[in-house]
Structure 1
Amino acid sequence: MGRRITLVLLSFLLASGAAACKEAPSVSSTTSTTVANVLFNPCVGIPDDAVRAAGVDPETEESGIGGVHQSGWEICSWDGPKYSITVYSTGRTVAEFESKPGNVEFRDVTVADRKGRQFKVEGASKNLDCNMLVPASQGVVQLAVMNLAGQDNLEDPCVILYRVSESIVPALPR
């Protein structure tokens, strides 16, 4: 459990740059009242059947990072025997992720009839994880796959990401 929390926290910090990024944007109504974006909650919005189809166990669900809520984000992760998946929901934009140093190898992808941007994060875990951003009305939803370090014969995480996305992406907001 401790290793998983560390890997998820590392993945989150590398992928989001939470400490260096601004708070999630807010929207203004026509009466100039500021209302915070309502973020999609992946722990609530992604059905257990989709989680199982993605190859991870719904019983391992964890909200936040190490169980701690992160301001401006809704985060949920699940573990499987060889990899974990984490879904991050935020008001940030694809452009913010693309301009963050360390996020590399961006490419367009289409999964479950949704266009997105696949990328990796430079560093020690670069060959263990793969990420995808799916634009949504609130900002973006990021899906991250992280191979479990220390396993033999690990599959390419971007191949896993594509397979996992087939069951998870249909549950994401538009």
Structure 2
Amino acid sequence: MRLVGFAAGVCAVLALAGCSKAVDGQPEASGAPLTKEQLFDPCTVSDSVLRAAGLDLASKDSNLFSVPRAEWKGCGWRADGYFVSFMSTVYTTEEIRSNERYHGFKDVTVMDRNGLQFYIGNETPPVECEIAFDTTQGRALVNASKFVDSKSTTDPCALAANAAPHFVGSIPR
């Protein structure tokens, strides 16, 4: 039953994230189009990073999108009352900024990496936030999303900001 709840939560996260929605434009980094094979693989992050971030290693979901996605790679884990996903995408920062599902953009620095933080969806208060980092292998994203039944008043961007420092060292330059 917990697995069904987890799967339902992940589906909700992905629906809110707009992962099923196409983003206009051509994916590219440094002027050259990227393919999924060229993306950084976030699922290779070490167990020590996941433990440090307070994630349940046994809850790993390496099929975040339920169907293969040519534009994304990623894995997700449960934390205390929320999910954390670590993903990579071929979409550029400009394409992320132009996606109507994303809002509240804020430039942030996590450790020594510049990132773009934003909310996903139009729930009030917000339930999902991502921080995107540019890399030579696409954009790397740390996503935090509250459980569907969460009563927490914690801002999801605070959850993403707390998780992100643990992942930054795993993100390629």
Common fold: TM-score over 0.5: yes
- 2:57 paired with 1:58: yes
Partner of 2:139: 140
- Identity, in percent, stands at 27
Alignment check: 8 A CA contact 1:23 1:72 kept: no
Partner of 2:8: 6
- 2:165 paired with 1:166: yes
User: Equivalents in 2 of 1:35, 1:114: separation in Å?
Assistant: 21
User: Equivalents in 2 of 1:119, 1:64: separation in Å?
Assistant: 23
Alignment check: 8 A CA contact 1:145 1:157 kept: yes
Shift of 1:128: 1.6
Alignment check: 8 A CA contact 1:134 1:141 kept: yes
Relative to 1, partners in 2 of residues 1:118 and 1:161: Cα closer, same or farther, differing over 3 Å? same
- 2:41 paired with 1:38: no
Tell me which amino acid in the other structure corresponds to 1:41. D
Relative to 1, partners in 2 of residues 1:125 and 1:167: Cα closer, same or farther, differing over 3 Å? farther
Q: Which structure has the bigger radius of gyration?
A: 1
Tell me which amino acid in the other structure corresponds to 1:5. A
User: Equivalents in 2 of 1:108, 1:56: separation in Å?
Assistant: 25
Partner of 2:99: 100
User: Equivalents in 2 of 1:13, 1:151: separation in Å?
Assistant: 17
Tell me which amino acid in the other structure corresponds to 2:12. L
Count residues in correspondence: 167
Deviates more, 1:139-148 or 1:152-161: 152-161
**Which digits, 9 at most, give the CA deviation of each residue in 1:9-39, with x for residues without a partner?**
3333443444323697478xxxxxx983511
Partner of 1:114: 113
- 2:169 paired with 1:149: no
User: Equivalents in 2 of 1:19, 1:153: separation in Å?
Assistant: 28
User: Equivalents in 1 of 2:117, 2:148: separation in Å?
Assistant: 21
